[in-house]
Amino acid sequence: MPAVSIIMPVYNSKKYLEQAVKSVTAQTFTDFELILVDDGSTDDSGTLCDKFAEQDSRIRVIHKENGGICSARNAGLDAASGDYIGFIDNDDEYDPNMLLETVSIMEKEKVDWVRFSRKRRTVYEDGSVKADSNGVVGIAAAGECVVLRSEKLFESYCKLKQSGALYGIWNALFRRDIIEKYNIRFDTSVRFGGEDWLFNIEYFTHVESVAFLGRDLYIYNRRVTHSTSTKYDFNRIEAVLKVVKAESEIIKNLQLKSYFEAVNLFLFTINCCECGKIMVHPKCSLSRKQKISIFKQIREELLSSDAHILKKAFKLLPLSKNKAALSLLLYLHMYSLFLLFFKIKANLKKEV
């Protein structure tokens, strides 16, 4: 049995696939299996997968009918045999030392989860490239490893959410025994990012320790010409609503005492902001009434109707000035002004 199973969903990616695969096979830590899940590709991607498997015995290939990235990842999880699980997309790359560093931390610190920074390379149509780093910024400084355990981990939930330290599944190493014990799988009804967050939330509820490593060990290649992040799809709002329900249950189970309402108010603000960004997209056909209905739905799921409790929660809220102002607009039911903020922000972005 290998120490690590790396799962890579593959769909019509022959242009970038070799680079992604090579970033795995070139790892300085060699005790792994790479599971390539060909999700019904209509180009030569499936043939390329078979070719790579012939060249390296650590590579396994699964060919299946097209079912989407969640279905492909689930097929990979079903086939995995390693102690640890990692994920990579078919057009991204690993740093050569990703496995060496994360497996070492897993075993040295005896943690259930290792999360690390990622380098985001945005490639524009004109060929220009912009790079930045994110993932565990605000939790672990560059080169630093911060371990949070038990109560400290759960009390830091707001900070973890706001920093983005729990977003994405590629910049992490998971324990397979936890995934299998609780039958954690990707929700195939969710697309465009929400599936990662839901998977991470479920995993988070079953861990007792997480190591955050301030090292850019994953390279996320964001190509603006075809990236799903540039498209509009109502499914993204549905994903946020599913996340809201899941997070509401988590907060109840964590029993954060005096922080309970503050955490809920924080989550209310952050999730409404996610919806706000989507709602101002030019292709969003939702009426004003429908948009407000969604905000109210999130409010009912998370917030207390007791004004005194909410005022106390505001004082504990770990938000920036902008987010605090937006939170106040939401608290006062000023949804139109809230959406106007995102519309102005989107227009300013176009002009830059």
Angle in degrees, 0-180, between the axes of helices 335-351 and 288-302, rounded to the nearest 10: 110
- CA distance from start to end of the chain: 52
12: buried, middle or exposed (CB in 10 Å: 19+, 13-18, 0-12)? middle
Same domain, yes or no: 172 and 210: yes
Domain span at residue 282 reads 232-351
Same domain, yes or no: 294 and 218: no
CA torsion 98-102-103-106 (nearest 10°) is: -170
Same domain, yes or no: 268 and 200: no
Same domain, yes or no: 87 and 41: yes
| pTM beyond 0.85 | no
Say what the pLDDT of residue 307 is: 60
Same domain, yes or no: 90 and 117: yes
Say what the pLDDT of residue 351 is: 55
Say what the pLDDT of residue 227 is: 42
CA torsion 213-159-166-277 (nearest 10°) is: -130
Same domain, yes or no: 208 and 236: no
Same domain, yes or no: 93 and 143: yes
**Which of 164, 198, 229 is the endpoint of a domain?**
229
Q: Are 171 and 118 in contact (CB under 8 A)?
A: yes
Say what the pLDDT of residue 5 is: 99
Say what the pLDDT of residue 155 is: 72
Same domain, yes or no: 206 and 292: no
Same domain, yes or no: 190 and 250: no
Cα(175)–Cα(298) distance, integer angstroms:
32
**Which of 229, 252, 272 is the endpoint of a domain?**
229
Domain of 111: which CATH number? 3.90.550.10
Q: For the segment 301-352, what is each residue's pLDDT rounded down to a tens digit?
A: 887 666 666 666 666 665 677 878 888 898 888 999 999 999 998 887 665 5
Q: Are 224 and 230 in contact (CB under 8 A)?
A: yes
Same domain, yes or no: 222 and 257: no
Beta bridge pairs of residue 36? 8, 61
Say what the pLDDT of residue 124 is: 76
Q: For the segment 247-275, what is each residue's pLDDT rounded down to a tens digit?
A: 777 667 665 545 566 677 777 888 899 89
Sign for the pseudo-dihedral over CA of 187, 193, 196, 199: negative
Say what the pLDDT of residue 240 is: 80
Q: How many distinct structural domains can be found in the chain? A: 2
**Which of 229, 254, 278 is the endpoint of a domain?**
229
Q: What is the pLDDT along the chain (352 residues), one digit of tens a residue?
A: 999 999 999 999 999 999 999 999 999 999 999 999 999 999 999 999 999 999 999 999 999 999 999 999 999 999 999 999 999 999 999 999 999 999 999 999 999 999 999 988 887 777 777 877 776 767 888 899 999 998 778 777 777 877 777 888 999 999 999 999 999 999 888 766 678 888 998 899 899 999 999 999 999 988 765 444 445 556 778 778 887 777 777 667 665 545 566 677 777 888 899 899 889 988 888 899 999 999 999 988 887 666 666 666 666 665 677 878 888 898 888 999 999 999 998 887 665 5
Same domain, yes or no: 191 and 240: no
Two structure tokens written together for 56:
């390296």
Say what the pLDDT of residue 161 is: 74
Same domain, yes or no: 259 and 161: no
